[in-house]
Structure formats: structure tokens, C-alpha cells
Amino acid sequence: MSISASDVMKLRNQTGAGMMDCKNAMEEAGGDMEKAGEILRKKGIVKAAKRADKIAADGLVTGIVSADKKIGVLVEVNCETDFVAKSESFSAFSRHVAEAVLKHNPADLAVLYTLQLPTGTTVEGMAGELTLKIGEKITIRRFVRYDTTGQAVVYLHGSKIGVLADLTGGDAELAADVAMHIAASNPKFLNRALVDPTLVAKEKEIFAEQLKAAGKPANIIENILKGKIDKFYGEICLLEQPFIKNEDLTVEKLVAGKGAAINRYARFELGEGIEKEVKDFAAEVAEQLK
């Protein structure tokens, strides 16, 4: 029977076993994920599987750009502690992952894990070796890759925030300024056209209730609402935000003044959306000694 890549990936996340081991177990189990998990446990294939229930919310955001600036990549690779994130072996793995995405353009994470690295092993194999070496769960959470006829730029704020932007026109200084602005201001959308109308409607409803509670006359609430919604767009849309180096300029005016345009961008902040496990130091040491 045909086993989907998403099911294999789900089993891998549940067990910590390798991609091919998971695929084989799913085939042996006839697609039954619970039975496949039992098969893996009985075979004791991967010792690192005991880390599968751990929360990997630390790590690195890494980005690279091709020599001609036509391809840019941003990846987030996670581990469990800041100590491991700062190690050379983890940094090297993150770089290898970014380079693999740049070179091979994988369709998704499942394909990325199967890619061959210059070290002679796959991304999956190197992740497993690193887990066994350092004793922490290692996962690749996400990646983005832009191919552009303009220029791709990466800006990294330390190892916690990364930005990849795709611009047409302008120069290297403008590209760097735009990427740095995105890192600092965290816009949610490029422009108004990309904002979900239901989000705007909800904000308008909240503002209207606030104005009513403040005793504003009904005949002027609509005019006030327009100004508030414009301000809301100015906070969440990149092109309407005041440029961080000169707040008299919006980002849109900044790029237009250089004859440029921003086509798209991605911003990764390490661990965003992951509920991090909290435990005391003594408990952490005790667990490591087991």
C-alpha cells in the first residue's frame, strides 16, 4: 500500500526514529500508525527516540544567500537548551541544513530530511548522530527558500531572529536596511491587500465599542474609525510602517525613492509559538544523569 510522507513524518515526530525506519514500519503495519510505533519500540531501532517527547524550543535561526544573490534561504533548527545551541557541532549542522536547502530546493521537511550532505550522510542521519552525541532532541522546524530575478537578502539578529527578503531594484544598503527593519518591527503583512478582512472587521468592531463607551456621538464614530483603521494598517503592514532609521519616511516611500520594490519577505523568531517546558536546574541535572 502507499504510505504518505505526512504520515511518515508524523510517526517520526512521535517516536524520534529515522525516516526510512518509520516508512518501513508503516508498511509493515499496513498503515496503522499505532502498530507501527509498537514495531519500532520492539526493534529498539533508535536510542534517540527517548528524546521524542521533549520540547525543543531553543536552537538557531540560520540564513544564507547564493553568491549572485538570486537565491536566499532561512531555516530554524531546534534543540532543547541554549548550551547546545551555542555548540560548534549544532551550528555546523544548522549550516549544513541551510546549504542543503539552497542547493536542492526540497519541497518540504520530509524531503529535506532525505537529502545527502557533503559529510556522506543524510540530513536525517546527521540529526540522529548529533542527538546521540549531545543527548538532546534535534529537529528542523521550518525553512523558506526564495528564487528571485531581483536580489535576495538575509539579516540575522544574533541567532534568534532571521529575515529573508526579496527585492527588485535598489542597492545592497537598501536591502540590508529593509531586512533589518523587518527584524525590528515584525510586520505581519506586506501590504493592505494581504490582510485578512475578518481581522480588520474585528478590529473595527473593537474600536467602535471603545468609542461608544467613551460617549462619542454615532454620527462621528465612522470618521474616527477610519483614522483608527489606518493607524492599525500602519502598525501591521510593512510598507506603511515608519522606517526605523527615519520615522518621517514610511518603508514604502523609502524603497520607492530608490526605485525599488519589496516583493515578499519571511521573518523567523526562534521558538515562536512553542510552549517551552519549565523545570528547575536540579531536576534537569537529575534527568541528564539517568
Model confidence band, residue 288 (pLDDT cutoffs 50, 70, 90): very low
What is the reported pLDDT for 289? Answer: 45
Summarize pLDDT for 127-185 with one digit per residue, the tens. 988 888 888 889 999 999 999 999 999 999 999 999 999 999 999 999 999 999 999 99
Q: Which residues pair with 140 in a beta bridge?
A: 77
CATH classification (class only), 5-51: mainly alpha
Query: How much is the mean pLDDT over the chain?
Result: 87
Specify the higher pLDDT residue, 135 or 257.
257
Name the least confident of 2-16, 62-76, 239-253. 2-16
Summarize pLDDT for 39-54 with one digit per residue, the tens. 877 666 654 444 555 6
Q: Which CATH architecture has domain 58-185+264-274?
A: 2-Layer Sandwich (3.30)
What is the reported pLDDT for 44? Answer: 61
Q: Domains of the chain: which residue ranges?
A: 5-51, 58-185+264-274, 192-257
Cβ within 8 Å of residue 68, ≥6 positions away: none
Total Cβ atoms within 10 A of residue 229: 16
Q: What is the DSSP string of 35-53?
A: HHHHHHHHHT--GGGGGTT
Summarize pLDDT for 77-113 with one digit per residue, the tens. 999 889 999 999 999 999 999 999 999 999 999 999 9
Q: How far is CA 124 from CA 8, 81, 97, 201, 242, in A?
A: 13, 20, 10, 44, 43
| Gap between the Cα atoms of 72 and 91, Å rounded | 18
Model confidence band, residue 259 (pLDDT cutoffs 50, 70, 90): very high
Considering only CA atoms, which of 100, 99, 54, 111 is closest in space to residue 78?
54
Quick one: DSSP state of residue 67? T
What is the reported pLDDT for 255? Answer: 98
State pTM to two decimals.
Answer: 0.75
Name the least confident of 147-161, 203-217, 225-239. 203-217
pLDDT exceeds 80 at position 278: no
